[in-house]
Amino acid sequence: MVPLLATGDQIVDYLPVLVMLLFATSFAALNLVVSWLAGTKGQHNPVKDAAYECGLPPITDAHAKFSVKFYLVALLFVLFDIEVVFLFPWAAYFQTPGRQVFLFVEMLVFAGILFFGWWYVMRKGAVDWSQE
């Protein structure tokens, strides 16, 4: 039966985690204190408080509306970009002898599903900006 509470020997295993937690907490607290001590208090400059956009003063509304197509393209990029991440573990595991044929067929199925998704997106015109 596994004990619910850690014994003395098991606590030693968690010592590096505790040290890292203490270091991270003290580092954050130290940064807050130093920035509070070094910062200017009550001295506001309208030029320095203005929004900075590439050296030019802001001339448009910050709440301008974007086309839904912009967000759709961004979402599709993230979707297909993340799918490529699955190729790296496959390529690393592909080196094991005796499983190359199975893994190759498996990756062909995966790439086929991705291709079908890409074809569907193109057929629906999700990335065609001229239809606005």
Tens digits of residue pLDDT in 98-131? 778 888 888 889 889 888 988 888 888 877 777 6
Residue 10 domain flag: no
Residue 50 domain flag: no
Residue 114 domain flag: yes
* pLDDT computed for residue 55 by the predictor: 65
Domain that includes residue 73, residue range? 68-131
Q: What is the count of structural domains for the chain?
A: 1
Residue 47 domain flag: no
Express each pLDDT in 19-72 by its tens digit: 999 999 999 999 999 999 988 777 777 777 777 666 666 677 767 777 777 788
Q: How confident is the model at residue 87 (pLDDT cuts 50, 70, 90)?
A: confident
- C-beta separation of 118 from 80 below 8 A: yes
Rounded CA separation 110/116 (Å): 10
Residue 118 domain flag: yes
